[in-house]
A and B are shown apart, each in its own frame.
Chain A
Amino acid sequence: MTEAAPSPQPQVERRVLSVLVDNAPGVLMRVVALFRRRGINIHSLAVSVTEDPGVSRITMTVECPAALAESVVKQVRRVVEVRRVRDVTDAPRTERELALVKVNAPGGVRSEILEAAQVFRARPVDLTEKTVTLEVTGSPEKIDAFLSLVARHGVREVARTGAVVLLRGSAAT
């Protein structure tokens, strides 16, 4: 079957999506399945209930061409339990992520790590003879920067929440 030669791949970019859904079983799967179907990798995913206990917010970051994201967003809108979808990538927004970072911290370097942590306003939340666990909050870029800073000490484990986003000002996300 003579298929057409593939056209040049459009630019892959990070898209940030905010989805309001009914707080009910299976809804996340419906939303996520639409991205899986197109082979889009979900880079981060944060889901929790909102100010209304009947409504949850899914914040996801995906990596794909903008047009593809738009096409999937329209399909997400068809899901019955989905109340609102916004691609907020290009909107003025507040974006935060929280990470727990467990770093090797033997006596000799511990103070150096804690000093670096201060610059990033990372808080130590657990301390052992060999490790320190730091809680750092900020934009995903800031967390990336912090991780690369402490990398040389040996990062044992990282748990990141994924980005959460609200639009700036009085606009509803």
Chain B
Amino acid sequence: MRTTLVETKKASRTLSGAQAVVRVLEEAGVEWVFGHPGGASLPLYDALYDAPTIRHVLCRHEQVAAHAATGYARASGRFGVCTATSGPGATNLVTGLADAMMDSAAVLAITGQVVRANIGTDAFQEADVTSITMPVTKHNALVMDPKDLVRTLREAIYLCRSGRPGPVLVDVPRDVLQTQIPEDLLDEPFEPRRRPVTKGHPARIAEAAEAISTSRRPILYVGGGAQGAAEPLARLARRCRIPVTVTLMGKGAFDETDPLCLGMLGMHGTAYANYAINAADLVVAVGARFDDRVTGRLRDFCPHARFVHIDIDPSEIGKNKPAHIPIVGDAREVLEALEPLVTPPDTEAWWKQIEEWRARYPLRWRPGPLLKPQQVIEAIYRATRGEAVVTTDVGQHQMWAAQYYLCRRPRTFISSGGLGAMGFGFPAAMGAQFARPDALVVAIVGDGGFQMTMQDLITAVEWKLPLKVYVINNASLGMVRQWQELFYNRRYSEVHLRNPDFARIAEAFGAVGIRVEREEQLEPALQHSLEVSDRPVVVDVIVDPEENCYPMIPSGQSVKEMILGD
């Protein structure tokens, strides 16, 4: 009997931890992994070598891998995967994780760790990655027992995309990746510890419906949490003729070409969106978090309004502004339940007022001898027929892109909103292009931010990605320059950039590079860029370095202090 038992045990099949990682990714339908290998993740890369359905994109910097995974997730609605080795590989992911955390992107990060016996001994390429990433991940875990590996990964995948999505990191010591574990572990069913509340409370929903039906000056304030709720949102707004304003993260959740849409609100939002929300008697926040870039001085934000706040994350409700009618739940489920209960309020007078503001304070720019950045964005918008998936970097160009590139569909505007991470735009475009190979993907970046991650042009070339990088080149860190001009007495401290020739850099990488210095070159360059289908194109557009981004509500102030510009 004894011998039989031993034989049975021997006969039960095993696989390495690394092979188990690959199996879990395969069963979750992962097609792309963005990463960079290293010593501690060698076993994982060895297992990936044999994986028939998972393809790995070798990024030249782990920050790019994380941003690409984010771009992939946000463009597709699925989750993105990035991987890095221990120590410096993992620390290079941190910016990308923090961005994904702030903007609620579903990202799974797998990092190699030094072998268990060496953890805590300052071993080569060791960093305490779970401690470092704790505040910038939704959850993370260090796998010390190989038997926990499968469960931990499945939980990570569940967590990164459930409820309010976010980045989840799993740190796996090299020897755990190498250990043989029973294959049966893959057959164990996974049950999450708990599930988020997605269905809104019916009494609250009824209360909200009543509040909307009886309001006179309602407005929908739409954030990134509404990206999956576009249809019920559109039904509610259109049937009840409620004005809609979107945040940077909410762009695309509602058709911005619809006259009901007032565009973006906040620090660099349209004047009419800001006037409207601040005059509203009812603000219906959908998947938005009352960020300081939206509200300015909190106590002066929407002084006449009651707030309905719909959010899947209970900790957002009441965090910055008290909600009169809080509804915890998934934006789509809540709006689907809410919309049929609303009787259209009488918004005729309200619309009259809004149209007056819209006519009086339109977004505008003045032509000059040099190309204006706004003019360039408008040209990109026209050339791409407003159909592109747009990613941006961070700064003035980001705000101009938000103002002038109107989005019609969800998941078509991908920008680093909460963290404001320069260097995000181009890698995010790579991820978006992998997620949507047939879509036109455009990265609108600044000359400052592009230089933070442009080394990965080679990755885009390698994969023949036909994405377009439009560099709004004002030879400066424009937003910082603008603040120095307005608030620091024009003492321009370290904001002027001596730039490389981006077109020639692109060519050196094997991409197409075009430089635009004059207005008549712009349209042909854009057209040319759209004709290239087998490699990335970088169009370096030299623009007026003195142009400022308006309207602007200075930090910590209110709509009353809005600067409209000249």
A33 within 8 A of B: yes
* Any B CB within 8 A of the CB of A9: no
* CB-defined contacts of A77 to chain B, threshold 8 Å: 314-315
**In the bound complex, how far is the Cα of B267 from the Cα of A2, in angstroms?**
13
Task: State which residues 69-84 of A face B: CB under 8 Å.
Answer: 70-71, 74-75, 77-80
Question: What is the minimal beta-carbon distance from A157 to any residue of chain B, in angstroms?
Answer: 31
Q: Is the CB of A1 within 8 A of B130?
A: no
Q: Which residues of B contact A26 (CB under 8 A)?
A: 130, 134, 142
Say yes or no: is B313 at the interface (Cβ < 8 Å to chain A).
Answer: yes
B561's nearest neighbour on chain A, judged by CB, is: A2
Q: Which of B183-191, B230-238, B526-534, B552-560 contacts A (4 or more CB under 8 A)?
A: B552-560
Chain B, residue nearest A22 (CB): B193
- B159 interface contact, C-beta 8 A: yes
In the bound complex, residues from chain A placing their C-beta under 8 Å from that of B159 are 80
Chain A neighbourhood of B315, CB < 8 A: 71, 74-75, 77-78
Q: Are B487 and A80 within 8 A (Cβ)?
A: no
A93 to B: closest C-beta gap in Å: 24
Q: Which of B544-566 contact A (CB under 8 A)?
A: 554-557
Contacts of A79 in B (CB 8 A): 139
Q: In the complex, are the beta carbons of A71 and B556 less than 8 A apart?
A: no
Would you call B556 and A29 a contact (CB within 8 A)? no
- Picked from B193, B299, B313, B487, the residue with its CB within 8 Å of the CB of A2 is B487
Interface membership of B118, Cβ < 8 A: no
How many residues of chain B get a CB closer than 8 Å to chain A's CBs? 24
CA distance A35 to B159 in the complex (A): 23
Residues of A within 8 A of B554 (CB): 1-2
B364 at the interface (CB under 8 A from A): no
CB nearest neighbor in A for B130: A26
In the complex, whether B297 has a CB less than 8 A from a CB of chain A is: yes
Chain A interface residue count: which class? 10 to 19
Interface presence of A11 (CB below 8 A): no
User: Judging by beta carbons under 8 Å apart, are B299 and A7 in contact?
Assistant: yes
Chain A 1-20 per-residue mask, 1 if CB under 8 angstroms from chain B, else 0: 11110010000000000000
A7-B299, A78-B313 known; A1-B139 Cβ under 8 A = no
Residues of chain B with a CB closer than 8 A to A7's CB: 299
Contact status B555-A1, CB under 8 Å: yes
B135 within 8 A of A: yes
Whether A74 lies near B193 (C-beta < 8 A) is no
A130 interfacial contact with B, CB 8 Å:
no
Give A79's nearest chain B residue, CB to CB: B139
Q: Which residues of B (133-158) have their CB < 8 Å from a CB of A?
A: 134-135, 138-139, 142, 155
For residue B487, give the distance in angstroms from its CB to the closest CB of chain A. 6
Q: Within 8 Å of chain B (Cβ to Cβ): is A43?
A: no
The verdict on A30 contacting chain B, using a C-beta distance below 8 Å, is yes
Q: Is the CB of B555 within 8 A of A3?
A: yes
Q: B139 near A33 (CB under 8 angstroms)? A: no
Q: Please tell me if A37 contacts chain B, counting CB pairs below 8 Å.
A: yes
CB pair B487–A1 under 8 Å, yes or no, is yes
Contacts of B138 in A (CB 8 A): 78, 80
Is there contact, CB below 8 Å, between A80 and B139? yes
| Cβ-closest chain B residue relative to A76 | B315
A78 partner residues in chain B, CB cutoff 8 A? 138, 313, 315
Q: Mark B307-321, 1 if CB is under 8 A from A, else 0.
A: 000000111011100
- Given contacts A1-B483, A74-B317, A78-B313, list 13 more A-B pairs with CB under 8 A: A2-B555, A2-B556, A2-B557, A7-B299, A29-B131, A30-B134, A33-B134, A74-B319, A75-B315, A78-B315, A80-B138, A80-B155, A80-B193
A residues in contact (CB < 8 Å) with B: 1-4, 7, 26, 29-30, 33, 37, 70-71, 74-75, 77-80
In the A-B complex, the 9 residue pairs with the smallest Cβ-Cβ separation, listed nearest first, are: A74-B315, A4-B556, A3-B556, A80-B139, A4-B297, A75-B315, A1-B555, A2-B554, A71-B319
15 contacts between A and B (CB under 8 A): A1-B556, A2-B555, A2-B557, A7-B299, A26-B130, A29-B134, A33-B134, A33-B135, A70-B318, A71-B315, A77-B315, A78-B313, A78-B315, A80-B139, A80-B155
